[in-house]
Amino acid sequence: MLSFALRRILVALAVAVTVSVASFMLLHLSGDLATAIAGPEATGEQIAAIRVQHGLDQPLLAQFVAWAGKALQLDFGNSFYFRERVSDLILARLPVTLTLGVVALCVALFVAIPLGVLAAVRRDTWVDRLALAVSVLGQAMPSFWFGLTLIMVFAVNLRWLPVSGNATWKHFVLPAVALGYYAMPAVMRLTRNGMLEVLASDYVRTARAKGLPPRKVLIRHALRNAVIPVIALAAVQFGFMLGGSIVIEAVFSLQGLGQLAWESIARNDFPVVQAIVLVLAMIYIALTLAADLLNALLDPRLRS
C-alpha cells in the first residue's frame, strides 16, 4: 500500500507541475499582458513602465519561477480591478463554491445510486428504461437551461425558493439540483453496470444459495463491491462541478469562484484568473489522489 501511495503521489505532483506551467503559459499566450493592463489608450511609455512594474520585462522562465515561488506561499499578487490581494478574494468566495459543489454531489449520489441499483435489479423492465431515459436526458440538457427552468417553476411560479443569492441554505437548493443533475447520469450508469456485474458473480450466487435474505445480499455483498468505482467517479465529478460552476453561479447570482472568474475574465484581471485556475486544478488533483488511495484501501487488487 505504501509503494502504491508513493506512486500516486508522484503522479499527482507531476500533474500539478504540468497544470501550473499550463495555467501560466495560457495567460501569456493570450497577448501582451502589459498592454491589456494599461488599457487601449495608454502610451508606449506607460506600457513600458507597467511591464517593468509587474516583471513582464524578465525572461519567461524567470517570471514563472517568481510566480510559482509566491504561489507556493499562497501569494498570488494583487487584483488589477478589485485592488485587493488575490488570495483574500479567493478565500472569501471559495466557501460558496465548495458548499455548492458538496450539496450538488450529495444530490447526485443520493438520487443516482439508488436509481442505478433499482435499474440493475429490475433489468429490462420499465424501471430500467426510465432510469436510462433520465440518464440520457441529464446528458442532453444544458445546465443553464435546466437552472432557468427550476427558477421559473419553483421560484417564480410556486414561490417556494429564492431566485438568487447565497444568504441562506434555501439559496443553494435550486443551483445544487441543477448542478447535481449534470453528474447523475454518469453515476447512475456506473452503479447500474457495477451492480449487474456483481449480481452475476459467484459469491453473490453462493450467498443466495445459503438462504441469506435478498436485502442483505443486495446491500452487504453486491452494493458494497459495486460502489467502489463510484468513489473515484464522485471525486472526478466533484472536480468538474467546481470547475463548471461558473454557469450555475452566473444563473443564480451566487458569489463564488465561478462568478469571480467570470468577472475577472471580462475585466482582464489576469492574476485572479490565473489563481482561480490553479486553485481549482489543485483541488481536483487532491480529490483524484484521495479517491485512488481510498479505492486501493477498499480493493487490494488495485494496489498491484
- pLDDT per residue over 103-158, tens digit each? 988 888 888 888 888 888 888 788 888 888 877 777 777 777 888 888 888 888 88
- pLDDT per residue over 163-192, tens digit each? 777 778 888 888 888 888 878 888 888 888
- pLDDT per residue over 58-74, tens digit each? 777 887 888 788 888 88
More confident residue, 213 or 22: 22
Helix, strand, coil shares of the chain, percent, nearest 5, are 80, 0, 20
Sign of CA dihedral 290, 293, 299, 302: positive
What pLDDT is recorded for position 40?
Answer: 65
Confidence of residue 4 (pLDDT cuts 50, 70, 90): low
Fold for the domain defined by 90-296: MetI-like fold (1.10.3720)
The number of C-alpha atoms within 13 Å of 268 and in the hemisphere containing its C-beta is: 12
Reduced to 3 states (helix: H, G, I; strand: E, B; else coil), residue 85 is: strand
More confident residue, 64 or 55: 64
Report the percentage of the chain scoring pLDDT > 70.
83
Contact between 116 and 191 (Cβ < 8 Å): yes
Contact between 256 and 93 (Cβ < 8 Å): yes
Domain positions in the chain: 2-72, 90-296
Q: What value, to the nearest 5°, has the Cα angle with vertex 182 and ends 224 and 177?
A: 90
The number of C-alpha atoms within 13 Å of 52 and in the hemisphere containing its C-beta is: 5
Res 30 pLDDT > 70: no
Range name among 14-28, 49-63, 282-296 with the lowest pLDDT average: 49-63
What pLDDT is recorded for position 108?
Answer: 87
Residue 59 in grid coordinates: 525572461
Instruction: Give the number of other CB atoms < 10 A from CB of residue 248.
Output: 28
Residue 181 in grid coordinates: 443533475
What pLDDT is recorded for position 10?
Answer: 81
More confident residue, 208 or 287: 287
- Rounded CA Rg of the chain: 24
What pLDDT is recorded for position 252?
Answer: 86
What pLDDT is recorded for position 156?
Answer: 85
Res 47 pLDDT > 80: no
Mean pLDDT of the chain: 79
What pLDDT is recorded for position 301?
Answer: 63
d(CA 266, CA 103) in angstroms, rounded, equals 28
The number of C-alpha atoms within 13 Å of 82 and in the hemisphere containing its C-beta is: 22
- pLDDT per residue over 234-279, tens digit each? 877 887 787 767 788 888 888 888 888 888 887 777 788 888 888 8
Render the burial of 270-279: b for 16+ CB within 10 Å, e for the rest: bbbbbbbbbb
Specify the residue for cell string 462541478. Answer: 241
What pLDDT is recorded for position 265?
Answer: 80
